[in-house]
Amino acid sequence: MPISFAHRDFRTLIPALSLIVGPLLMAIGDLLHPKERMAPPEQVAILVDQASRWYVAHLLLLIGILLFIPGILALAALTETRKPAAGYAARILILVGAAALASIFVGEMLVGRFVLDGADPAAATKLLESMFSGPMLAAVGPAVLAFFVGTAVFAIPLMRAGGSAGRAAGIILIGTILILAEILSAQVLLSQIGNILAFCGSAMAARLILHGVTRA
């Protein structure tokens, strides 16, 4: 089933730019990201020497996820033309998830600034422990998961349909799965690879949008 973006106006240019700039900033941010540890004291020990790098990395991730929203919603719109319920659900889940991820990036930026401003390591450890305590994870965790579920909901119908849009969606989905794996394991290499893949898939989708026709 062909899907057409008939005119190259703001409705195509903005999503296309979003699909390039947003994931690119996120990939750069993650490549700058210091090593991660599950234990807050070990993480703070790394932050003491790399607080500015930590802060810049999460700043780029924050800006990237915000700029990515128009593009990924455009991809959900492709799904909606084929599977209306899936496309609609994907939009809601992605918006909820993007908001939750943005809040985490802001919190991690705060920890970086806290250390940069000379906070005692013990106080920084306590802040990090509070951020990732059970009550916080219970509140934010399901919303974060919504982003990854929403990505799968929009990507799978496009992948099943095949074509260039399906390949782009598949690459994005693999990238987001790797990012989720990093969140669960604290292995930064996984999200670095994942963000690069997400950028490649998004750039492919942007090219399709700018050329006026994709295939779902």
Structure token digits, residue 10: 């703001």
Hey, what amino acid is at 15? P
SS3 of 131, please?
helix
Q: From CA 41, how far away is CA 124, in angstroms rounded?
A: 9
Cα dist from 90 to 77, 83, 172, 208, whole Å: 9, 11, 14, 20
For the chain, list the strands marked E by DSSP. Answer: 2-4, 213-215
Classify residue 33 by its DSSP letter.
P
Structure token digits, residue 190: 């996984």
Hey, what amino acid is at 123? A
Structure token digits, residue 196: 């690069």
User: Terminus-to-terminus CA distance in the chain, angstroms?
Assistant: 6
What's the number of domains the chain is made of? 1
What is this structure's pTM?
0.90
Condensed to tens digits (0 to 9), the pLDDT of residues 141-187 reads: 999 999 999 999 999 999 998 888 899 999 999 999 999 999 999 99
Predicted confidence band of residue 8 (pLDDT cuts 50, 70, 90): low
Contact present, 151 and 91 (Cβ < 8 Å)? no
Give the residue numbers spanning the domain of 109: 2-215
Torsion of CA 157, 160, 162, 166, to 10 degrees: 40
pLDDT of residue 141: 94
Condensed to tens digits (0 to 9), the pLDDT of residues 12-34 reads: 899 999 999 999 999 999 999 99
- Give CA 17 to chain center in angstroms: 16
Contact present, 22 and 67 (Cβ < 8 Å)? yes
Give Dmax (Cα) for the chain: 60
Contact present, 36 and 188 (Cβ < 8 Å)? yes
Q: From CA 78, how far away is CA 81, in angstroms rounded?
A: 5
- Of 1-15, 32-46, 57-71, 176-190, least confident by mean pLDDT is 1-15
